[in-house]
Amino acid sequence: MFFIVKSLIGMPGMPGTERNTLTKLNKLSKQKTEWRRKCAVGKGFEYHIDCLPPETRVHLLQQQVKEQVEVAQAQASTESAELWLAFQEATEKKRQEAARNLQICLMVADLVEKSGMKLYKAFAHIADTTGTPLGTIKRWFYIEPGLKRIQKSDWLPALLSRQGCNTKHKEVICPEAWSFFQGDYLRTDAPTVQSCYERLLEVVKVTCWSVPHVSFFRRRIKTHIPLELRVSLRGGAFRAKQDLVPAQRRSRAGLHAMQIVNGDGYTHNFWVRLPDGQVVRPTTWFFQDVYSSMLLSYCVDVSENTDMLGLALHQMVSRYGVPTSCVLDRGSAALSQAMSGRMHRPSGRDKKHKKFDSAEVEGAMTAMGMDVTWTRVEADTAGNKGNARAKPIERVFHSKGGLGDVLDKHPAFASATVGDSVDKKPAHYVDAQKNAVSLETFLQVLASVIESWNTREGRRTEMAKARGLSYRQVFDESYSQVVIRQPSEYQLMMCLMRTEDCLVHGGGVVELKASQNPVGERNRYHSPMLYAHIGTKVSLRFNPSNLSEAVYAYDATGVLIGQIPILKDVAFNDRNGARQQRLAQEDVMGRIELMQRTTDITPIKDVAALLATVPAGNNPVPAAVGPTLARMMPKATNESELEPEYEELPMASGCDSAVAAERRQKAAQAMAKLFGHDDEGEGEGDE
């Protein structure tokens, strides 16, 4: 290898100027004439690497090796796909070790190919230069991985260490025992692993199954029972749909004020005393603008009914006009024919509801030209549940920062609150009903809280967060212009791939900050491959100039998880997006059903039957033989004194014979004696 003067300036062992470098090279090349030759192009001379100082030669070889390593990493042939796949799935530590070994092997190849040195001498020379054992270098070329038989472009993955790949201790478990454990663990009662393991040990006394330690079951649950199956069988179908398929983040871009509204009723968590003395937990019906999130109108009543919905609707329409569309749930008040013009629930079954009239009446909403949309009802193992994610107003009722906090826990209602659930009852719960507030106080506080709710600045919604506006400011801005002002899109500069650690959220979702665009600050990416990493951080490698592409996720050890596609936002009223969400849920449920059919799970009845065969041990249960009722009753001590001295016989109605008269006389005498009276003695004294 020959080098020109300019390429050697500043190298280790060489001067920092061109003149001094030329002078030193001329002195070093005087020993042999073949170390110096004229340049093929241009003027000047080239100098062979053998005339350079040792430190300069080592630096040049290392520099050339690094360049070859980069080329080797980029040139992965189709024949070596398996080698490169194993290299990508390996840890970062093993990949770095393979790169260091590749540098050593490439230095040997350079000495053989370019300097004409014998292979064994090259082994010895590199071993002395780098400090690597000679036997290790020979093993790389001849034994493992045998680089003489592998193309140089595949040396990097071939030098990957296989140590620790197949050395894990495999504990043995009987298939019947694992099936029994799954049958006990995968049920909606959701028992703990420890309790299921203890019951399994009881059955082992009879069946003699081989059972490892409980920690084996904790690991095996994560590796052999898919997350979809665990969530579905232990939490129910509704939880599987809600947790495994992430909620859609529907963008409000493209809407305007009063285009879409949604409404729902909310029962407050405190007692109110009505003017007639009745104490109730009032219910308020709210209408909310979807675009701005502002509360448009409300109406209070003792319970949710059609009248309060009609009053709230009239209040909203008289103030702000008729909205284009309205989103409601499937409650009886919203489904009333007076409001929606329907005579049955929108379930597709065309069944009459007992509270609705039989005649079709054009309702108030349809008469005003409103398009009413009904939210879906999800079937669950515990019954039907509404899809609360479909209506933004459900967030208004939240107990953390919503009306459940700022209104229900207002100081004016102190000692009258009851808590938002049975497990969150306050200390004064027993006396809460006695401390009920007046209706006038409640209405005043409600009006004040709603006004402050709409006018509070610095909201974090999609349309208000970037500028720190309130709900009312966003609403007034759009309401005065009728159309939404579309924000301009920001462009990202082209740059290299970037790595960022991100937390995996529920449903297998990770987020990346995209821009300062108020329409959306973060991009979301979702894949079932992230289910096993929920709650932990993964490293994402992405192109910041085009975040709409998929990203590559790596776990904490640097192992490649896979390619994670983007989870795009959908328009709020995009029916196709709702259809895609349903298809995703059906796909998850289909995979869960397939797992249930292919998984060997002992039925819970067989689990209970096997547990019943376990002997009681040293504490047998006594037979269920108890004392009779007669033995439990105390015996009378003076039975002859308490009972009357005659034999009571039944007497037919209307019978008045001599025998009956005699018996009645004996009974009267016995009663007199019992109570300490003597009719004969009293008669003689009177005479």
In this predicted model, what pLDDT tens digit does every residue of 340-369 receive, in sequence order? 655 445 555 544 443 433 222 335 677 677
C-alpha radius of gyration, the chain, whole number: 43
Output the pLDDT for position 312. Answer: 84
Output the pLDDT for position 652. Answer: 47
| Domain 254-323+377-477, CATH class in plain words | alpha beta
User: Whole-number mean pLDDT of the chain?
Assistant: 77
89, pLDDT greater than 90: no
Highest mean pLDDT among 436-445, 490-499, 576-585, 613-622: 436-445
Output the pLDDT for position 272. Answer: 94
* Mean pLDDT computed over 530-541: 86
Buried b / exposed e over 362-378, threshold 16 CB at 10 Å, is: ebbbbeeebebbbbeee
Contacts 24+ apart (CB under 8 A), 414-418: 416/270, 416/271, 416/272, 417/269, 417/270, 418/269, 418/270, 418/271, 418/281
pLDDT confidence tier of residue 626, bands split at 50, 70 and 90: very low
Which CATH code fits 498-568? 2.30.30.130
156 Cβ contact list (under 8 Å, min separation 6)? 69, 72, 73, 87, 98, 99, 102
More confident residue, 540 or 343: 540
Tokens of 479: 């309401």
From 450, 477, 437, 126, select the one nearest 284 (Cα to Cα).
450
Output the pLDDT for position 512. Answer: 82
Predicted TM-score (pTM) of the model is 0.51
For the segment 274-314, what is each residue's pLDDT rounded down to a tens digit? 998 999 999 999 999 999 999 999 999 888 876 678 778 87
CATH number for the 54-165 domain, one of 1.10.10.60, 3.40.50.300, 3.10.450.50, 3.40.50.700? 1.10.10.60
Output the pLDDT for position 83. Answer: 78
Q: What are the residue ranges spanned by the domains of the chain?
A: 1-52, 54-165, 254-323+377-477, 498-568, 658-687
pLDDT confidence tier of residue 165, bands split at 50, 70 and 90: low
How far apart CA 164 and CA 243 sit, in angstroms, is: 36
Tokens of 80: 């070596």
* Mean pLDDT computed over 576-604: 82
509, pLDDT greater than 60: yes
pLDDT confidence tier of residue 631, bands split at 50, 70 and 90: very low
Highest mean pLDDT among 134-148, 300-314, 517-531: 134-148
Output the pLDDT for position 328. Answer: 85
Output the pLDDT for position 447. Answer: 94
How far apart CA 110 and CA 125 sit, in angstroms, is: 12
Tokens of 449: 């809280």
For the segment 15-35, what is each residue's pLDDT rounded down to a tens digit? 888 888 888 888 888 777 778
- Tell me the percentage of the chain whose pLDDT exceeds 70: 76
Angle at 396 between CA 392 and CA 401, to 5 degrees: 130
How far apart CA 340 and CA 405 sit, in angstroms, is: 32
* Mean pLDDT computed over 581-590: 82
Output the pLDDT for position 347. Answer: 54
Tokens of 623: 């037979």
Output the pLDDT for position 394. Answer: 86
pLDDT confidence tier of residue 578, bands split at 50, 70 and 90: confident
Q: How far is CA 303 from the centre of its chain?
A: 34
